[in-house]
Amino acid sequence: MVGPTGVGKTTTIAKLAANMTFLENRDIGLITLDTYRISAAEQLRTFAEIIGISISVVFNPADLCHAIDKFKNKDLIFVDTAGRSPYNRQQMEELKEFVQVAKPDETILVLSITTESSDLINMYQEFSTVGIDKVIFTKLDETRHYGPIINVIQEINKPIAYFTTGQNVPDDIEVPNSFKLAHLLLRRDGA
């Protein structure tokens, strides 16, 4: 998972890892590259301990290769990248290098719906250099303006993997559907 700072990548990964471990009985490995943000790795390590899954903290591309190899027998490996400014060339090149080393099956861009449509589209365009397959929109609980979802998906033409609707792990994450999206756009309760 990739995305700008503060969009909820780490919490989203914890939700997905917990749900896939408990509900789908899958063997999950976690890798975090987020050694920049104070306590980010520790936050994910705490989630991993609670869920009962393995985690590796990675500092460079060589470490990432070793971590992926260590988890090669896992059903699924989540890689939590450090938040990056899409306009910082050096950070984006570093991210690109990690993604090239990881060779992921899917690269998912995490975006906060509390951001303006034009900024979301610009972020997608900048992050698309690493190869984006899907998008997760977070923080639906922090806004009442859901039009940016339609604006962005129309412009980028990528599927939405999940919505997050709060900070509770493993809850507050859902697979989007057209009924829910229509209710959000009509500003009705999305239940």
Span 87-114, pLDDT tens digits: 999 999 999 999 999 999 999 999 999 9
**Burial zone of 56 (CB within 10 Å; 0-12 exposed, 13-18 middle, 19+ buried):** buried
Query: Any idea where the domains of the chain sit in the sequence?
Result: 9-185
Span 1-17, pLDDT tens digits: 999 999 999 899 999 99
Share of the chain above pLDDT 70, in %: 95
37 pLDDT band, cuts 50/70/90, is: low
Q: Is the pLDDT assigned to residue 191 strictly greater than 60?
A: no
Q: Which CATH architecture has domain 9-185?
A: 3-Layer(aba) Sandwich (3.40)
Span 20-35, pLDDT tens digits: 999 999 999 999 987 7
Q: Which amino acid is residue 57, in one-letter code?
A: V
Phi-psi region of 187 (alpha: psi -120 to 50; beta: other; left: phi over 0): left
| Pair 81, 98: CB distance under 8 Å | yes
Q: Is the pLDDT assigned to residue 188 strictly greater than 80?
A: no
| pTM for this prediction | 0.91
Span 127-140, pLDDT tens digits: 999 999 999 999 99
